[in-house]
Structure 1
Amino acid sequence: MTTGVTPPADARGADARGADVQGADARGADAQGADARGADARGADARGADAQNAAAQDASAQDAAAHAGPRRPAWQRRRRAAARFWRQYRTHRAGLAGLAALVLCALLALTAPLAVGSDVAGVTDAPGQPLAPPSGRFWLGTDRYGRDLLGLVVWGSRVSLLVGLLAAVLSVAIGAAVGITAGHFRGAYATVMMRVTDWFLVMPTLVLAVALTAVLPRSLGTVILAIGVTTWPTTARLVRAQTLAVEARPYIERARALGGGHAHVMTRHVLPNVMPLVLAQTTLMVSSSILTEATLAFLGLGDPTVVSWGGLLQDAREAGAVSAGDWWYLVPPGLAIAGVALAFTLCGRAVETVLNPRLGVAR
């Protein structure tokens, strides 16, 4: 029978102390590892903070650069918008034809003093015989005073275009102001302004214009005023509807919450959004203003001291050109009025289609 040998007590104590030393070494190693990991974490945090600071500095630099030169980006945006508008406008053949006709008419009006001379409207030294038919010397014939009708038509384009443009601008300005304020301010003000607009809508525009020109002194300013203050209700209705749609958008509420007043909201937020509609309406109003001016002049309510297309038609009526068969006295100014009105209408439709593609007007 084999008996086990028991190790001495000193050996067991030495082994225990060795195990304790190894445990202490292991704990020390763990502590060193923990310290190292903590140092790594602190280093990572420091690197993250440095990265955040660098990103913040970059963002601040970008903001400073953006605020340092706001004019150039705004100009570039406007230029790109104009280029985009022209690219879309060129796709409308009718609009291009109308624009070409308007450019030609504008050049004739601007060069009229050089092309036909300022004495073309003179009666005392008329170069031809009264009511002479078209010939090699007078391509469109002469009027009842012996004046060249071609020169009179070219000279009359200055007055007709000027009155049409100014009357259209006045009409659209009144309509836009009424529409924006009526759409922005609710309550009694909007109700009163819309009832006034409805009253002007149901009243015949020509009758009101005739009444104003009959009461006021006969001049170009009176004609412009009479046309402008009687043709604004349609624009007011359209602009008010667009203003109500813009005012319902969320950024209007944010602007008001940030302290934006009525003037700020209407001029900085509402007006830029209704300007495309105003531009298209202005182009369309020029044609109707030219027709109204010609009608007033034909009725003898225009300025008798200037030559206009409507005034030429009124002279032809007084001279009995209709009954006498003097067609050359009636056709040139009539075609000029119809052609310019058609050209402005074509341009207006094209502009309206480009600015509001949902209309889907044929090209």
Structure 2
Amino acid sequence: MTAETTENPAGPPGKAADAPSPRALARRRRRASAARFWKQYRAHRAGLFGLAALTLFVLVALTAPLTVGSDVDSVTDAPGQPLESPSGRFPLGTDQFGRDLLGLLVWGSRVSLLVGLLAAALSVAIGAVIGITAGHFRGWYATVMMRITDWFLVMPTLVLAIVLATVMSRSLGTIVLAIGVTTWPTTARLVRAQTLAVESRPYIERARALGGGHWHVMSRHVLPNVMPLVLAQTTLIISSAILAEATLAFLGLGDPTVVSWGGLLQDAREAGSVSSGDWWYLVPPGVGIAVVALAFTLCGRAVEAVLNPRLGVSR
């Protein structure tokens, strides 16, 4: 055998080995995409303010067991007198049982944030599944799903959530379920519209011509294209979910064994703080709910503007 026949026709030895693998290329593209997203997100000052506020609230919620202790909601071991005004010992005063309101406010942030995140995740998951499947299969299935979606859209969300929370047991799971199953229609309609736009593109026809089935098209082509919309919708829904949780807790439909910002407002109402002028019992939970909802809204608008610059959201 001659030397010419033993030469490597693909080029010098080691060249193929030096080429990056497909996984390395995918990781490199994801890192570059994340860097571009963060660079564009930083240009939105309101989004940065919302992100900073959310980071602060999350840190406060995560460190609550270390900063205020897990027995802050104990009624029998309350450290103060009922309805003490703010002082050096109790910066935000005490509640009707003599508990430190600052500790209750910090501990309640855990429940409010957790319920808001879980309810938003459930709502977006239901809306994304219905939207993608209705946009992909069409026909009678899409007609039935969209009519159900329209029915949920015209029904008052809060009324449906109150009904579910009333007929089911009073727990955090019930609150999450009540909010999640009543706030998904908007996401479903948005995702379906995006799915219809994606499936009209030529590469979807090529995927089907090459033997791609329904699951392949929806999971490998449609879902990655609708995920930015789903992400932006999630950040916007979280603020609504937190407000809904506070409303249900204020109406007495929350879990009475846990402390939340809405539950604190309910306790303040029952204690007569509105008529007696005990502002320290009412203002801090209300401000906390408003700031967190505003922060999530600002983050959601910034994410939406980055993913869809045509919206022209002001910076």
Paired residues, number: 310
Partner of 1:287: 239
Aligned: 1:158 with 2:135: no
Give the direction of change, closer, same or farther, for the CA distance of 1:244–1:70 in structure 2 (3 Å limit). same
CA distance in 1, matches of 2:262, 2:18: 58
Question: Secondary structure at the residue paired with 2:259?
Answer: coil
Gaps of 5+ in 2: none
Superposition map of 1:107-146 within 5 A? 107-146=59-98
CA drift at 1:58: 4.7
Q: Which amino acid aligns with 1:343?
A: A
Partner of 1:219: 171
Question: Secondary structure at the residue paired with 1:119?
Answer: coil
Partner of 1:82: 34
Aligned: 1:346 with 2:298: yes
1:82-127 residue CA offsets vs partner (Å, 9 max, x unmatched): 0110000000000000000000000000000000001100001111
CA drift at 1:354: 0.4
How many percent identity over aligned positions? 80
Partner of 1:57: 10
Give the TM-score, by structure 2 length. Answer: 0.95
Aligned: 1:240 with 2:192: yes
Q: Which amino acid aligns with 1:156?
A: G
- Higher relative contact order (CA closer than 8 Å, sequence separation 6+): 2
1:303-355 residue CA offsets vs partner (Å, 9 max, x unmatched): 00000000000000000000111111000000000000000000000000001
CA distance in 1, matches of 2:168, 2:241: 19
CA distance in 1, matches of 2:109, 2:279: 20
Give the direction of change, closer, same or farther, for the CA distance of 1:353–1:146 in structure 2 (3 Å limit). same
CA drift at 1:69: 1.5
CA distance in 2, matches of 1:288, 1:342: 10
CA distance in 1, matches of 2:89, 2:224: 53
Which has the higher Rg, Structure 1 or Structure 2? 1
Q: Which amino acid aligns with 1:305?
A: T
- Runs of 4+ aligned residues of structure 1 deviating over 2 Å after TM superposition are 56-59, 61-66
1:45-103 residue CA offsets vs partner (Å, 9 max, x unmatched): xxxxx9xx98x7359x978876x721111111100110110000000000000000000
Q: Which amino acid aligns with 1:234?
A: T
Partner of 2:251: 299
Question: Secondary structure at the residue paired with 2:254?
Answer: coil
Give the direction of change, closer, same or farther, for the CA distance of 1:58–1:184 in structure 2 (3 Å limit). farther
1:117-174 residue CA offsets vs partner (Å, 9 max, x unmatched): 0110000111111011111110001000000000000000000000000000000000
Q: CA RMSD in A?
A: 1.8
Aligned: 1:249 with 2:201: yes
Give the direction of change, closer, same or farther, for the CA distance of 1:350–1:196 in structure 2 (3 Å limit). same
Partner of 1:104: 56
1:165-217 residue CA offsets vs partner (Å, 9 max, x unmatched): 00000000000000000000010000000000000000000000000000010
CA distance in 1, matches of 2:11, 2:312: 47
Give the TM-score, by structure 1 length. Answer: 0.83
1:203-237 residue CA offsets vs partner (Å, 9 max, x unmatched): 00000000000001010000000000000000000
CA distance in 1, matches of 2:17, 2:146: 47
Structure 1 counterpart of 2:21, from 42, 45, 69: 69
Q: Which amino acid aligns with 1:221?
A: G
CA drift at 1:289: 0.2
Give the direction of change, closer, same or farther, for the CA distance of 1:202–1:58 in structure 2 (3 Å limit). farther
CA distance in 1, matches of 2:101, 2:29: 48
